Amino acid sequence: MNKEELLKLYHSDLNELLEKSSKYVKDEVEFCSLVNARSGKCSQNCKYCAQSSHYRTDIEEYPLVSNDEVIKAALEAKENGVIRFAVVTSGKSPDEENFDKVLGFIDELNKLEGIRSCASIGILNEEQAKELAKHGLKRVHHNINTSESYYSDICTTHSWQDRLNTCKLVKKYGMELCCGVILGMGETVEQRIEMALELKEIEPESIPINILMPIAKTPFENYHNKIDDENILRTLAIFKITNPNAIIRFCGGRMRLSNENQELALKTCVEGILTGNYLTTTGKSPQDDIKTLEKLNKKLKKG
C-alpha cells in the first residue's frame, strides 16, 4: 500500500483497522531484555534523551560495566522467559577500548544456552559491523527513531542517513536488525505513515515501538500530550500491516497506554515485549507480562 492508501486506512474505523492488523499476528509473544551497560555522557543532542550531555538531567552516569554484571543480568532475564538479551551503551559510536569490551560481552552471551545476543551500541562503521558479525552477534538494535522528514527536528548532531547506513551494514554482514521508532515527539500522522514505509524498505526482523516518556530538563520535557491511546493503537496497526513479517515490539513508554489498550495491542498488532525496566524509565515486571499473556491465551515464545 502507498502513503495515501495507508493514510486513509489510518483514519478508518478503529475496530476494523485492528481487525485487519490482527490477521498478521501469531499466538506467541517474544520476550527480550537489556542491560544498560554504559549510562550518560552522550555527545549527541537527541531532544528526547536523558543521557545526552547537552542536558542536565538527573540520571545516574557510569562507565562500561563488567562482564560479570552483563552475564548476571542475562541469566536473570533467562529465568524470566527472555530469549533475546541486549547490551546497550550510551554514545554516538563505540570507541576502540569499549568496543573490544563489548565484543567480549558478546562472546560470553553466546555461551549461554537459550539466549540470543543483541547489542545497541550506536552508529557503526564497516569494520565494526564486520567484527560484530565475526563474533557471532545475532542481532543489532538501531532505531531510525522518527521519519527522515522530521529527523532534523529531533537531532542535529547526526543525521537520519547515518542511522540508515548502520542498518544497511547490519544487513550486509548477515546479522538480524531490530529497528524502530519513538512515537509522541510531535510528529504528524503523515510522518508516522512515512516511518512505517521507511521501515518496510529497511526490512528489520523486529520493530520496537517506544512511546515518548518526557524527561525533565530535556527539550521534550513537556511533550505529554503529543499522542493518545487511540493514535498509538492506530500507528501500531499500520506498522503491522505495512511490515507483516516483522515482530512489532512494545518497548519504552508502553506504560502510557492503559492496561486495557496494552492487552488490545497484544491481541491485534504486537508480538514482542521488551520486558522489565528500560534505559532511564520503568516498565512492567516479566511476571506481570506473563500473567497478561496467560489472560490473553498467548504463548511465550521459547528459545
User: What are the DSSP E strand ranges found in the chain?
Assistant: 28-38, 84-89, 116-120, 139-141, 176-178, 181-183, 206-211, 247-250, 272-274, 299-300
Percent of the chain with pLDDT over 90: 85
Q: Which cell goes with 17? A: 483497522
Share above pLDDT 70 across residues of the chain, in percent, rounded to a whole number: 97
Lowest mean pLDDT of 51-60, 146-155, 213-222, name the range.
51-60
Least-confidence region, from 50-54, 139-143, 196-200, 205-209: 50-54
Check if the beta carbon of residue 181 is closer than 8 Å to that of residue 195. Answer: yes
Q: Select the more confidently predicted residue: 286 or 131.
A: 131
Interatomic CA distance for residues 177 and 118, integer angstroms: 9
CATH number of the domain located at residue range(s) 3-290 in this protein:
3.20.20.70
- Kindly tell me if the per-residue pLDDT of 303 is higher than 90: no
**Which pLDDT band, with edges at 50, 70 and 90, does 40 fall under?**
confident
95: pLDDT strictly greater than 90: no
Q: Determine the pLDDT at residue 50.
A: 87
State pTM to two decimals: 0.95
Three cell numbers written together for 42: 552522550
- Report the alpha-carbon distance of residue 113 to residue 98 in Å, rounded: 25
pLDDT at 39: 87
Summarize the confidence of residues 267-277 as an average pLDDT.
91
Q: What residue segments make up the domains of the chain, in order of their start?
A: 3-290
Q: For 130-167, how does the pLDDT look when each residue is reduced to its tens digit (9 = 90+)?
A: 999 999 999 999 999 999 999 999 999 999 999 999 99
The chain-wide mean pLDDT, for the chain, equals 94
CA distance linking residue 46 with residue 261, whole number of Å: 29
> Residue 147 half-sphere exposure, CB side, CA atoms within 13 Å?
16
pLDDT at 283: 62
